[in-house]
């Protein structure tokens, strides 16, 4: 089951660039939340702050409070614990090139020392079914390298890999931007099904995609959260002039 995320006064820097400024926002549990905005507005930085990936860059730092359920992730947990509870899917599929499909999906458990064969087998099947990839790869799980799949299949495998560690939150940073329309619609269907069990945060440049999959949408501009509301409200009757300009395509 997913948990809600509460963000209070979040600020983030890369070197001396202030990429996120005073973000306050509540992401509800078991819903999909879309983040839109022009390139460089801080959406990606924001999701990377939610699983403490931001700090893997040596020149990056962040201040503020991010609460996942009751846990303050910057003060009450280690990055490793948080990343096990928060799955992440990146813009480009990033399979482990030396591993088979099976090993890719199970890598999160195996690399954390989990060895029970029966549980591993079951997890691979469950995750691949959840990611709608099982039927396509079930015959060459251990024969084929994860990198030999098509781009769309690789991305669904990466989603399966993120789901295999049984996270509560799933962060998706433009998960379909490198994919063709057929694969994109498969990924959207997937998000639609997964959001009953996970809290999903999806960054996207595709506004129709945000409208299709997300209940809530946030609009970022120049490192600030301009507006956050129900997706319907954002796309039909935004409060802020800048949001309206962006979604009607007048800039950005």
Q: Contact residues for other proteins (CB under 8 A)?
A: 51, 53, 56, 58, 80-85, 87-88, 90, 92, 94-100, 107-108, 111-112, 144-148, 158, 161-162, 165
* β-sheet bridge partners, residue 218: 35, 228
Using a 10 angstrom Cβ sphere, with 0-12 exposed, 13-18 middle and 19 or more buried, the burial of residue 30 is middle
CB closer to other proteins out of 105 and 225: 105
CB of 241 to other proteins, least distance (A): 19
Q: Compute the half-sphere exposure of residue 157: CA atoms within 13 Å on the CB side of its CA.
A: 30
CB closer to other proteins out of 220 and 235: 235
CB of 82 to other proteins, least distance (A): 8
Report which of 178, 221, 225, 217 is spatially closest to residue 200, judged by C-alpha positions: 217
CB of 108 to other proteins, least distance (A): 4
CB of 22 to other proteins, least distance (A): 26
Residues across the chain: 252
CB closer to other proteins out of 98 and 196: 98
CB closer to other proteins out of 156 and 161: 161
Q: Round to the nearest angstrom and report the end-to-end CA distance of the chain.
A: 36
CB of 104 to other proteins, least distance (A): 9
CB of 43 to other proteins, least distance (A): 17
CB closer to other proteins out of 34 and 88: 88
CB closer to other proteins out of 128 and 225: 128
Strand ranges in the chain using DSSP code E only, listed in sequence order:
5-14, 17-27, 32-36, 60-68, 71-72, 86-89, 169-173, 199-203, 216-221, 224-230
Sign of CA dihedral 3, 118, 141, 102: positive
Question: What does the alpha-carbon distance between residue 90 and residue 69 come to, in Å, rounded to a whole number?
Answer: 24
Question: What does the alpha-carbon distance between residue 209 and residue 186 come to, in Å, rounded to a whole number?
Answer: 12
């Amino acid at each position: 089951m997913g948990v809600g995320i509460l963000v209070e006064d979040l600020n983030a820097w890369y070197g001396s660039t202030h990429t996120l400024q005073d973000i306050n926002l509540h992401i509800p549990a078991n819903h999909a939340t879309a983040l839109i905005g022009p390139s460089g507005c801080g959406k990606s930085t924001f999701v990377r702050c939610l699983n403490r990936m931001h700090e893997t860059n040596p020149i990056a730092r962040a201040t503020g409070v991010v609460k996942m359920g009751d846990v303050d992730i910057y003060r009450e947990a280690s990055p490793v614990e948080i990343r096990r509870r928060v799955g992440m899917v990146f813009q480009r599929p990033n399979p482990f090139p030396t591993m088979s499909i099976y090993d890719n999906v199970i890598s999160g458990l195996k690399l954390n020392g989990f060895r029970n064969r029966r549980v591993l087998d079951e997890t691979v099947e469950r995750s691949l079914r959840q990611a709608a990839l099982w039927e396509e790869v079930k015959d060459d799980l251990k024969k084929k390298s994860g990198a030999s799949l098509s781009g769309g299949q690789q991305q669904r495998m990466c989603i399966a890999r993120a789901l295999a560690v049984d996270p509560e939150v799933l962060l998706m940073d433009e998960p379909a931007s490198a994919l063709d329309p057929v694969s994109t619609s498969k990924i959207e269907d997937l998000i639609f099904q997964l959001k009953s069990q996970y809290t999903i945060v999806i960054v996207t440049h595709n506004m129709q995609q945000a409208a299709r999959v997300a209940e809530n949408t946030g609009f970022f501009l120049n490192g600030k959260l301009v507006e956050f509301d129900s997706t319907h409200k954002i796309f039909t009757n935004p409060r802020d002039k800048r949001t309206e300009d962006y979604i009607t395509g007048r800039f950005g």
